Amino acid sequence: MSVVSVHSISLRGIAAAVPVLTYSNLEYGHIEMPERELFIKTTGIRERRVAGKHQSTSDLCYEPAVQLMNKLGWEKESIDAVIVVTQSPDYFIPGSAVILQNRLGLNKSCLAFDINLGCSGYVYGLYVLGNLLSSGQLKRGLLLVGDKSTVSTAYTDKSAYPLFGDAGSATALEYDPSAGTMYFNMGSDGSGKDAINIEHGGSRNGIDETTFQLMEIEPGIAREKRHLKLDGVGIFNFALREVAPNIRGLYEAAGQTLENTDFFVFHQANRLINESVRKKLKITDTRKVLYSLEKYGNTSSASIPLTMITEAAEALASGELRLCLCGFGVGFSWGSVLLHTKSIVCLPLIELP
């Protein structure tokens, strides 16, 4: 798509939560120690947070939303819209947004709906909610973004199991005529739908006698058809093909330069992919490219807000920053945004038992 802009929207605050349970990839017994060490070196993922059976995606987003509203002093009655971005909803139906609208005690007049996106979802969510508020008819909105990705990975699949962690987040947006402009550049290519895919459980392929059969794909990779499958080479090639040109096109259309950006926050896919994108963009100051994946893994749609509050909270809270956020992955789907923040509320990371 062409670069588009959203006006009169201020990002007021961000909060994020992870489960307290930590899994170390050094203890991943499905592969031998040398392969574990190589995996950590290549992906940058040393440990991950894993939700318990009692925790859902809406649970991971609920506490960040409550604490953020309290910190901002936002009355429940003042929230006009709540959007949940996830690919691991609590239920097939209803959507998680209506569940959270009720659980948070928001008005029945509050707009509430889900967006079914993964790795690019935070950027898309900012665009959708920003547009809803930009006319001024709606004043305040919550973007709740998260995934319980580990529910769909098989322990016997070394290509997926040690990659993913669980997290939820809340971002507060508000109509503000004095705010600057957000610039977006987004795209999609559904020919890549099989690169990151769960074959069974939807309306295309439901549940049948083959759904729970453990199948060996290759040595070290065995999974059921209800589990997530990854084409690592295809994903890597997609990222190199689409992400850097998307970001360069965004800067060109917005009349801005990479050199004047304070931080780049990419979806935390893995270190090899993200460093390859950084090098293609010729970003030489590595301090500007933020990482949270060593401690939290690939947290899907929540990875961008999680990285912001764990790696740049002090800077975000204390002054004005120019940011480039970019999400890319499942779909294939990708999107980047340029935005300014000014002394936003960044809550300490919430750990959920």
Q: 325: buried, middle or exposed (CB in 10 Å: 19+, 13-18, 0-12)?
A: buried
The pLDDT assigned to 1 comes to 63
What residues of the chain score a pLDDT lower than 70? 1
The pLDDT assigned to 216 comes to 96
The pLDDT assigned to 338 comes to 98
242-300 tens-digit pLDDT = 999 999 999 999 999 999 999 999 999 999 999 999 999 999 999 999 999 999 999 99
Q: Which domains does the chain show, CATH number per domain?
A: 1-200+215-353 (3.40.47.10)
Using alpha carbons, list the distances in angstroms from residue 305 to 78, 134, 179, 199, 245: 23, 21, 20, 29, 23
**Which candidate, 342, 330, 276, places its Cα nearest to that of 303?**
330
Pairing of β 221-223 and β 215-218:
antiparallel
Residues in the chain: 353
The pLDDT assigned to 2 comes to 80
Q: 344: buried, middle or exposed (CB in 10 Å: 19+, 13-18, 0-12)?
A: buried
Q: Are 331 and 189 in contact (CB under 8 A)?
A: yes
Burial 230-268 (b: 16+ CB within 10 A, else e): beeeebbebbeebbbebbbebbebbeeebeebbbbbbbb
Count of alpha carbons within 13 angstroms of residue 138, beta-carbon side: 20
103: tokens are: 């659980």
